[in-house]
Structure 1
Amino acid sequence: MTAQEQTAPDGWRVFHATGQAPAAAPQLPSAPPWRRFRGEPLQPAPPDDPQAALRRLGPDAVAPQLGSEEIDIVNAALLLRRPLLITGPPGIGKSTLAYVIARELGLGRVLEWNIVSRTTLRDGLYSHDAMGRAQAIAAWQAGLRDTADSGRADGTDRAPAADAGETGARDSLKHRQLPPLLGDFITLGPLGTALLPYDRPRVLLVDELDKSDIDLPNDLLHVLENGSYDVPELVRDAADTARVHTSDPGGRAVVRGGRVECREFPVVVITSNGEREFPAAFRRRCLPLELRTPTREQLLALVERHLGDGARGTEDLVDLFLQRVQAGGVHSLDQLLNAVQITTTGGFQADGNGRKLVEMLLRDLAKGR
């Protein structure tokens, strides 16, 4: 950060809510001493997922700005390496903010952890396919027995190697008879993958945490504070390192000593629809951010970004959407996008049955139908 940037009113910011991918990934300031970690071994840079960002954000263009206060809160979370706890009505764009951050800061693919009432901490950290491993070990042992029986039947177990080709064949057979590796049956979840030691932070979206079991927020405290966790199956394993699967498509990672510790604490975006309160100890570790319904100008820019400009009847639909929200109804932004998309379809008539369809698309979600 240059001296000129530091003296500017917003020179401390690294995130400006533009929604634009950078030409070069910006450098994040160093973490405070109490949020520094030393995880090893360093993992390769994560993959990108431009299609997911395109679905969430639309084309790479300037996005409607968050308010200055909201941008400051996001930047504070980035600099302090603390999770963001985002509240607001359903469909307001809480989870979309994770994709805006990832695109603007060049942090790669967003890891999504979707919470339901049955979700446990271990679901987010890792899974162990114990049944699959038991079956693989049984198949391996059966293969050894078959090889041994075949050798005794034709006498090849007593025959010396005749030449280098035969020696190579025997070595290849020995290699195929290695026991299954434990790491092949361990898959890190979204939270577990985000806590791997990357050179730059991953973005983790914990969606709708308020739907979880009452114990999950408390269970998260240790992981969010220490940036690390153990995989007991790997801790007990004789091998010092293991190569496990991750939540990235086709991704693998090296885990040493059964312990995972981040190097850069991930950008954790936790969303809540406000269905219940979280414990004070959990809230202490997060920075709160409340999102409100966008303004008329922001909604028009949102529709333009996703569907292009000049969509017929867009302003009327935006006004109708805002009227219903201000009347106390529960509505989501994708309802507005659906209504605009339908009304711009060639041949659609907005009166008569067409009007009924628009009313259905913009219905109050709190009424159940």
Structure 2
Amino acid sequence: MSGPDSVGEYGWRFFHATGAAPTGPPPRLPEPPPWRRFGGGPAQPQPPDDEEAALRRLGHVDIVPHLDGDSIDAVNAALLLRRPLLVTGAPGVGKSTLAYLLARELGLGRVLEWNIVSRTRLRDGLYEHDAMGRAQSIGAWRAGLTNGTGEGAEAGEEHPRPPYLGDYITLGPLGTALLPHDRPRVLLIDELDKSDIDLPNDLLHVMENGSYEIPELVRDAQDVARVHTSDPDRFADVRHGRVECREFPVVVITSNGEREFPAAFRRRCLPLEMPVPTRKQLLAIVASHLGACPPGADDLVDLFATRVEAGGTHSLDQLLNAVQMTTAGVFRNDQRGRKLMEMLLRDLAKGR
């Protein structure tokens, strides 16, 4: 290491916020600090990609960074230290998009999304046990034994097998992110400030230890259970009811600043205040979604930026909607058209 900017092959800044996918093998993060190393196993297969979801969020590749230099440094520090990012900022400024930028740029596969509401519990993010479905299957299995139909038997079996417990357990987004992968998964915990007051504290143990237990599997007679995951049509083997990561996931936690989190929770996260995109970045975002900046986009970007700078609450979706309408081929810049633009670019803090 020859200086502060030369950690590993890619320097200490692995992430540049362009959303450009790797042209060759994806960058490999350096070894984590000793206190953030985990020993889960065996390694799970690489996660699937979801380019369709990435295109919806990011559009196509551009070379203009979506974040300023200080924000990019904060993200890279979180990557190197294996700590969650607590991203705050106004609604619609692009906080959740950061997870997709990270996943595409670092080649980390499909983003796991955990959308938080007031009723969300820690277990909702870890796993779900369909106890009712299993009870019904056991009843049907016992009935099959009684009437001799053989229902539930697999090919080549003389007698039907009882329903496996793992068939009725599905890992949630957090539970899937903590599976032992050789490269970290990207987990988006969206709008944590909407949660019950206890959820941030409940997350502390899992975030610190990189592991959790599924009590139903701990009590089960089988040593290994094959369970469903949050990835479509993907399964994972859980040994002795315990899951531990190999690489701590890249965790992006978003908050609209509607509440203060406990100090113990904030201590375990790196803070990032998401800045309002610059004019250059706004134009790049428009071009990435529409292929190029259409005529009139500059004026709409300037109007959008002026209203945001004046203290209004506006979303990037509003800007994209307004630009799309002006390129739809039927929009007219008359009184009715201007009224429509006012509706599309209205201040969200003013209700209707």
Shorter-chain TM range is over 0.9
Give the distance between the partners of 1:305 and 1:142, measured in 2 at CA: 59
Q: CA deviation at 1:4?
A: 11
Residue 162 of structure 2, aligned match among 147, 156, 179 = 179
Give the distance between the partners of 1:108 and 1:199, measured in 2 at CA: 12
State the one-letter code of the partner of 2:158.
Answer: K
Structure 2 matches for 1:358-369, cutoff 5 A?
Answer: 358-369=341-352
Moved segments of 4+, more than 3 Å? 1-5
Q: Which residue of 2 aligns with 1:115?
A: 116
Q: CA deviation at 1:64?
A: 3.0
Q: Which residue of 1 aligns with 2:216?
A: 233
Structure 2 matches for 1:64-83, cutoff 5 A?
Answer: 64-83=65-84
| Residue aligned with 1:315, SS | helix
Query: 1:227, 1:261 within 8 Å by CA — same for their partners in 2?
Result: yes
Closer, same or farther in 2 for the Cα pair 1:41/1:366, shift >3 Å? same
Closer, same or farther in 2 for the Cα pair 1:312/1:118, shift >3 Å? same
Q: CA deviation at 1:172?
A: 2.5
Query: 1:19, 1:63 within 8 Å by CA — same for their partners in 2?
Result: no
Closer, same or farther in 2 for the Cα pair 1:208/1:4, shift >3 Å? closer
Q: What are the ranges of 5 or more consecutive residues in structure 1 without an aligned counterpart?
A: 151-168
1:335 aligns with 2:335: no
| Residue aligned with 2:6, SS | helix
Q: CA deviation at 1:310?
A: 4.1
TM-score of the superposed pair, with normalisation by structure 2: 0.95
Residue 243 of structure 1, aligned match among 226, 238, 241 = 226
Give the distance between the partners of 2:331 and 2:270, measured in 1 at CA: 46
1:356 aligns with 2:339: yes
Q: CA deviation at 1:65?
A: 4.0
Structure 2 matches for 1:294-309, cutoff 5 A?
Answer: 294-309=277-292
State the one-letter code of the partner of 1:331.
Answer: H
State the one-letter code of the partner of 2:131.
Answer: A
| Residue aligned with 2:189, SS | strand
Deviates more, 1:283-292 or 1:38-47: 38-47
Q: CA deviation at 1:308?
A: 2.6
State the one-letter code of the partner of 2:28.
Answer: Q
Greater share of helix: 1
Closer, same or farther in 2 for the Cα pair 1:14/1:96, shift >3 Å? same
Query: 2:18, 2:61 within 8 Å by CA — same for their partners in 1?
Result: no
Q: Which residue of 2 aligns with 1:15?
A: 15
Q: Which residue of 2 aligns with 1:42?
A: 43
Larger radius of gyration: 1
Residue 266 of structure 1, aligned match among 239, 249, 263 = 249
1:314 aligns with 2:315: no
Give the distance between the partners of 1:310 and 1:253, measured in 2 at CA: 44
Give the distance between the partners of 1:66 and 1:171, measured in 2 at CA: 56
Give the distance between the partners of 1:234 and 1:92, measured in 2 at CA: 41
Q: CA deviation at 1:170?
A: 11
Q: CA deviation at 1:63?
A: 4.2
Deviates more, 1:31-40 or 1:300-309: 300-309
Which digits, 9 at most, give the CA deviation of each residue in 1:123-174, with x for residues without a partner? 00000000000000000000011118x9xxxxxxxxxxxxxxxxxx998342
Q: Identity over the aligned pairs, expressed in percent?
A: 73
Q: Which residue of 2 aligns with 1:105?
A: 106
Give the distance between the partners of 2:323 and 2:154, measured in 1 at CA: 68
State the one-letter code of the partner of 2:281.
Answer: Q
TM-score of the superposed pair, with normalisation by structure 1: 0.91
Query: 1:184, 1:243 within 8 Å by CA — same for their partners in 2?
Result: yes
Q: What are the ranges of 5 or more consecutive residues in structure 2 without an aligned counterpart?
A: none
